[in-house]
Amino acid sequence: MAEPLLEVRGLSMQFTLRRGVVQRLRRKPQAVLRAVDGVDLELARGEALGLVGESGCGKSTLARCIVGLYVPTAGEVRYEGATLQAERDRATRRRIQMVFQDPYSSLNPRLTVRQTLSELLRAHSLVPKTQIEARCRELLDLVGLGPRALDAYPRQFSGGQRQRVSIARALALEPELLVADEPVSALDVSVQATVLNLLEELQAKLGLTLLLIAHNLAVVRHVCDRVAVMYLGRIVETAPTDELFVDARHPYTHGLIRAVPKLVAGRASQAPALFGDPPSPIRLPRGCRFHPRCPIAQRPLCADVDPPLEAGPGLAAHAAACHFAWTAKPAPHAPEVAAG
């Protein structure tokens, strides 16, 4: 593989939780929430990587660290081989842009689309003053909105159109990497497709590198070349999309895929794909963090030893963090879950 566009090395992001008065008086130690806990990730230029996992697994936090909205507690983010500093300069920020989940709260309600876009173009001196107007029109055209949208305020648009404006805003800075955090989950079913198609189209047309964060595996399967699965702050499996869906090696990935409801009603098993709830990221389980919910966990190995993310024999692109990922799997059993 050529040098990756983006490299994340040992990234961790911890949040210290505030203690109440009582807890402070009792000298309780401050609880630490480890949202991202040692993540390595690479993104090749032009690829679309999907990041999936349940809520609270740290996928949004990871995205925000990459974009520079959070300063990670440990580890580094490298862009074209150079480590990005906590304080990024304008030129670096320009190259990594983000589209947020909720197009209702991520656009300034008091600015027209023209004001939103032209302010960016001016501040980053991307085009000469005389061409700002033309560039604004071009950007709207790119996301499939007509020039009439220029003088409209966000409230005048539907959800899908707002999300297009958000994408146009991100594209105004001519980014190389676009990070989209659940870009369609706040949208109506019938308009999700337009935004997904747009992302795919832009990726092909502009050669964008895309990091798509989604909880919907169907969306990721449709858009992404490669998928990384997160569980409790770690990446537990990463593989090319098609391979992941037919040959998942981590029992969590397997359960996650089985849990997705399908359009064709199969006479599926009555048993749920996975038992229990994800544990709290404040009290991470010892050993493999998935072992309390894992149907193939073996004691004492899985309860004591945290498996590293390892590529399969002869496979550069498929890695999983499970002791049994690449060996004969033990027979599944119902895990002893203390749900809650």
Partner 1 sequence: MSETLLDVRDLRVEFPGPPAVRAVDGASFDIRAGEALGVVGESGSGKTMALRALVGLLPRSARLAGGTIVFEGMDLATASPEQLRAVRGRSISMIFQEPMTALNPVMRIGEQIGEGPLVRLGYGRRRARERALELMRLVGIPDPAERAEAYPHELSGGLRQRAMIAIALSMEPKLILCDEPTTALDVTIQDQILKLLLSLRERLDVSIVFVSHDLAVIAQTCQRVAVMYAGQVVETGPVEQVFREPRHPYTLSLLRSVPDVDNVRHQLTAIPGSPPDLADPPSGCRFHPRCPFVQPDCVAGAFPLRPLGPERATACIHPDAAAADVRREPVLAGG
Distance CA 204, CA 48 (A): 10
Q: Report if residue 275 touches partner 1, rule: CB under 8 A.
A: yes
Taking CA atoms, 301 is separated from 291, 298, 305, 322, 336, in Å, by: 10, 6, 6, 11, 16
* Residue from 32, 69, 260, 305 binding partner 1 (CB under 8 A): 260
CB of 55 to partner 1, least distance (A): 6
* Residue from 31, 273, 284, 301 binding partner 1 (CB under 8 A): 273
Distance CA 30, CA 293 (A): 27
* Residue from 261, 300, 313, 314 binding partner 1 (CB under 8 A): 261
Q: Report if residue 270 touches partner 1, rule: CB under 8 A.
A: yes
The contact pattern for partner 1, residues 36-75, with x = CB under 8 A and - = no contact, is ------------------xx--------------------
SS3 percent helix, strand, coil of the chain, rounded to 5, is 35, 20, 45
Give the 3-state secondary structure of residue 155: helix
Distance CA 210, CA 49 (A): 6
CB of 176 to partner 1, least distance (A): 25
Q: Which residues contact 119 (CB under 8 A, 6 or more apart)?
A: 111
Residue type, 165: V
Q: Residue 105, Cβ neighbours under 10 Å: how many? A: 10
Q: Residue 265, Cβ neighbours under 10 Å: how many? A: 7
Q: Report if residue 271 touches partner 1, rule: CB under 8 A.
A: yes
Distance CA 188, CA 117 (A): 25
Point out which span in 2-10, 24-32, 81-89, 189-197 binds partner 1 (CB under 8 A): 189-197
Q: Which two tokens stand for residue 150?
A: 């220029």
Q: Report if residue 284 touches partner 1, rule: CB under 8 A.
A: no
CB of 319 to partner 1, least distance (A): 22
Query: Residue 31 class from Cβ within 10 Å (0-12 exposed, 13-18 middle, 19+ buried)?
Result: middle
Pick 96 or 217: Cβ nearer partner 1? 217
Pick 29 or 261: Cβ nearer partner 1? 261
Q: Report if residue 334 touches partner 1, rule: CB under 8 A.
A: no
Residues 127-166 that bind partner 1 (CB under 8 A): 158, 160
How many residues make contact with partner 1 (CB under 8 A)? 45
Distance CA 130, CA 174 (A): 18
CB of 155 to partner 1, least distance (A): 15
Residue type, 331: A
Among candidate residues 174, 163, 70, 64, the one with its CA nearest the CA of residue 124: 174
Angle, in degrees to the nearest 10, between helices 159-172 and 189-206: 20
CB of 119 to partner 1, least distance (A): 28
Contact 251, 322 (CB under 8 A): yes
The contact pattern for partner 1, residues 208-247, with x = CB under 8 A and - = no contact, is -------xxxxx-xx----------------------x--
Pick 221 or 318: Cβ nearer partner 1? 221
Q: Residue 183, Cβ neighbours under 10 Å: how many? A: 28
The contact pattern for partner 1, residues 94-113, with x = CB under 8 A and - = no contact, is --------------------
* Residue from 30, 131, 156, 197 binding partner 1 (CB under 8 A): 197
CB of 191 to partner 1, least distance (A): 6
- Tell me which residues touch partner 1 (CB under 8 A): 54-55, 158, 160, 188-194, 196-197, 215-219, 221-222, 245, 255-265, 268, 270-275, 277-278, 337-340
